[in-house]
Amino acid sequence: MKGSRRETKIGRRLAWLGAAAMLALGALPGIVRAQEGYPNKPIRLVVGFPPGGGIDLAARVFGAKLQESMSVSVLVENRPGATGLIAAELAAKAAPDGYTLLVGAAGQMTINPVLFAKLPYDPLKDFVPIATLTVFPMLIAVNPSVPAKSLRELIALVKSQPGKFNYSHGGAAHQIAGEMLNQAAGMDMRNVPYKGGAPAVNAAIAGDVPVTVVDSPAAMTQIRAGRLRALAVTTAQRSPLIPDLPTIAESGFPDYQISIWSGLFAPAGTPSGIVARLFKEVVGAAKSPDVLEKLRSMGVDPGGMAPEQLGALMSSEIAKFRAIVKSANIKAQ
């Protein structure tokens, strides 16, 4: 009797699995057709910051190029607020069909997870990485009155006058970069927060602080005008925008690397064929002369990192930033 019941249960289970498999197979042609016909309606790029900022401008530059190459409207939708949380949550909950995408900033995807105890989205589970769009190198720069002409000279100067040097910054990413340098060099520069890169730069120009950690778009005009002296760039390689400026790694700290980047993300579950198509389009756009010219006029480098690379970068940055945030007691602003 027990045997027959078990057989009945097994039979029902097999029947259920068979039905599920048939449903999946029945849906497969529709999924394939959806990927083959993609895109056939407007694509929405959700941006978590106001119009006119670096992430918004990157979205508009790439959106215009994707619209041209994919022959559909590509619309930028700004959903600012809560350091990008609103936009990321909206995109995470969108249909995974390739028509609602997030233009995500490094802060949204790798810094928010370590600053906030609870987020309405999980950057590693709720999104599929597509590609990096832009890279914003950060710079260590000083007021021209500071006698240091190199990063090593600045470090020696700071160490010779403990507690006397401050640096300005405009956000969590810049503070993390500053604290990474403090820890790597054994310095004690104190951070002075400002509401954005421009006020942080102005504070250094005015001499309110001797040092600033800032992204390149906010500082390049002042550096070219001689109002600030750049000492090093925070990226792993030198920036094509400032090829003569050494990296912090070159200046004696080989493990130092941090940048502000923007990337394109799809909701989890988006078909791989759509992700591959979007990656191909982004890489093509990043290589086009008109896009390169626009990005460099903004003071940023093009991206093009592949989905797997971007996913690995996010995982490694979250782990690294968590340790820095904890040790430096950095709080969400």
- Structural domains in the chain? 43-135+260-328 (3.40.190.150), 138-233 (3.40.190.10)
Residue the block writes with tokens 């249909």? 95
CA distance 265 to 92: 9
Residue-wise pLDDT for 267-325, tens only, equals 999 999 999 999 999 999 999 999 999 998 888 889 999 999 999 999 999 999 999 99
CB 139 within 8 A of CB 232: yes
**Amino acid sitting at position 1:** M
CA distance 186 to 183: 5
Residue-wise pLDDT for 62-116, tens only, equals 999 999 999 999 999 999 988 899 999 999 999 999 999 999 999 899 999 999 9
Q: Which of 140, 202, 197 has the alpha carbon at shortest distance from 170?
A: 197
What is the token pair recorded at 129?
């990485």
pTM more than 0.85: no
pLDDT tier at 170, thresholds 50, 70, 90: confident
